[in-house]
A and B are shown apart, each in its own frame.
Chain A
Amino acid sequence: MTLRNRWRKTLSYFMLSLTGVCAVVAVSLLFLILGILVYNGWQSVDWNFFTKLPKPPGETGSGMANAIVGSLEIVLLATIMGLPVGFMAGVYLSEFGGKTFAFLIRYMADLLNGVPSIVIGIFVWTVVVRRYHFSAIAGAVALALILIPITARSTEQFMSMVPQTLREGALALGASKWRAIATVVVPAAYRGIATGMILGVARISGETAPLLFTSLNNQFWGGGLSDQTASLPVMVYTHAMAPYDDWHRQAWAAGLVLLFGVLLANIAARLILSRGIAVQK
């Protein structure tokens, strides 16, 4: 083998193993992140964390019960507001859409998808908070605005993957178009749609920036949906940046709980999808 060929071969082995290293680095990042969070946070995730309210700085024994419930409230509300809209929009795009209008909607949805969440927060501030003050509802609106385009596009994507023959079969049997959609197409695509929805909800439950000027934060339980509400991501942020060691522990714990929830939802969603999209051939 000539010297040049030997060099080429060596280079080949070297570069290819380098790509392997890159892949291993990328994968291990996830475990590194989880590991650091667990290492720093697991001791603080105790009963107090889930049941007590935050205490004034410098005092021990506080918890984040209000943030956990607050996050659930805001995300739930956002889901109620956003999922149906996104789903219906997706159905329109996939089943009823004409050429130009559907293209426009699709383009706008992609645009919205790309808008940084903090800009969405500013928008909701100008429209909602300025008139109705900081509230969980404002926070939920902001999150819903993030959820809608994600859900619309993923619903459209999975519904358009359903083969045309299914629709035609239903119509041939005498169903009207909407009935065909509701009873045949949607169930056929439901795994994908559900996955998209779960991933979307998981994504918004981790968002912090839009909540910073919509639902703000709260020491206590707050007055329900029209009042400022605590949320886990905002708590992680404020507690991490504080100088109190006790608050740092709380931040790690909150981060761990948040990450756990988000990852669990993601894994569940992907497992549902990987079971296969329920389309009969």
Chain B
Amino acid sequence: MKKSSFWLGAFGALGILLVVAQAKVLINAAGATFPYPIYGKWFDEFTKVDSDAQINYQSIGSGGGIRQFTEGTVDFGASDMPMTDEQIGKVKNKPLHFPTVLGGLVPTYNIPGVTQELKFTPEALAGIYLKKITKWNDPELTKANAGVKLPDNEIVVVHRSDGSGTTFVWTDYLSKVSPEWKARVGANTSVSWPVGLGGKGNEGVAGIVKQTPNSIGYVELIYALQNKMDYGSVRNSAGTFLKADLDSVTEAAAAAAKTMPADFRVSITNASGKKAYPIASFTWLLIPSKIDDPAKKKAIVTFLGWMLKDGQKFAGSLGYAPLPKDVVAREQKQIALIQ
């Protein structure tokens, strides 16, 4: 008796769930962890704007976003690294790149006893990740941080273990400031790291740095802020040490905005400009140029429009910089390209 009523109840629940679920337009997306905090907020807020649409975003890394998008297992992808021509060639429906926000990568560290903010030269960062600088009290680090007592401890380097656009931005920057890095390692979503522990996602790297003394890692600004982790300033191409914040990141995009190509694929690391933060990047949504399902197309188009106007308002409070106005205008035109 008990068994049959259990099965009945189970099937009933399943049935109800199936019926309820079909009423909504369900969209699956996956990709970068860099903008996950703001995407999470956006997709949550968007359900209030359009209660029928539900966008489920899985932050599996930009590499995953590009791959799942290419295979068609998700409706759209997200990546901090624009797709290469080779990658675009593999997709049936040519992807449209929609920049969403600007973010900055910060070197976050966890050094017991050091509470002051550290200054990092490009040589220091490249040296640490190339395993040439192995201790915190290395001259390259101490000479930029005169007032700080850096301990004689080994640096625990943390990087990404998954295919990451954040890694691309970091390695892209290192390739620009260090010829040795460019020759030995290069820039990509997944590289052959000379040293370090691997964390999965921005979340994983932040998690490891937070729990491991004497460690350093690279994460998007908001991850360091939300978890109250220490992060340092980086010297930009003009010679100024800057911390990542709204102004410095926006400044990095300002120069690029004028010369941005039509498909929005651009790198703004090591940007020129006195107040430009050197490790900044756009992050993009990868939208197929042709969406067959009319309900999904409507929802995605509505979302893009909302994102470019109201969504941008959430950027600042979460540590991202909103898009420059002329970029927004051009993107709104690109929405019309979606068939």
Give A contacts to B, CB under 8 Å: 55-58, 69, 72-73, 76, 129-130, 133-134, 216-225, 227-228, 238, 241-245
Contact = CB atoms under 8 A, between A and B. Distances in A.
Interface residues of B, number: 39
Interface stretch (B37-45, B128-136, B182-190): B37-45
Contacts of A218: 56, 58
Given A216-B58, A221-B20, A227-B21, A241 B14 contact: no
Interface in B293-330: 318
A179 to B, nearest CB: 23
A224 B18 contact: yes
B203 interface: yes
In the complex, the 10 A-B pairs of residues with the closest C-beta atoms, listed nearest first: A56-B40, A243-B206, A242-B203, A223-B26, A224-B18, A224-B21, A243-B207, A243-B227, A133-B73, A223-B21
A27 B200 CA distance: 34
A194 to B, nearest CB: 11
Nearest to B224: A243
B196 to A, nearest CB: 17
Interface string B198-227: 011101101100100000000000110011
Nearest to A55: B44
Contacts of B201: 241-242
Interface of B: 10, 13-14, 17-18, 20-22, 24, 26, 28, 30, 36-37, 40-41, 43-44, 54, 56-58, 71-73, 199-201, 203-204, 206-207, 210, 222-223, 226-227, 229, 318
B158 to A, nearest CB: 12
Contacts of B41: 56
19 contacts: A56-B41, A57-B36, A57-B203, A58-B318, A73-B17, A133-B28, A134-B28, A134-B73, A216-B30, A218-B58, A219-B40, A219-B57, A220-B54, A224-B18, A224-B22, A228-B28, A241-B201, A242-B201, A242-B204
Given A57-B226, A221-B21, A242 B44 contact: no
A221 B22 CA distance: 11
B26 A222 contact: yes
Given A241-B207, A243-B227, A224 B17 contact: yes
Nearest to B210: A243
A57 B40 contact: yes
Given A56-B37, A219-B56, A220-B56, A73 B203 contact: no
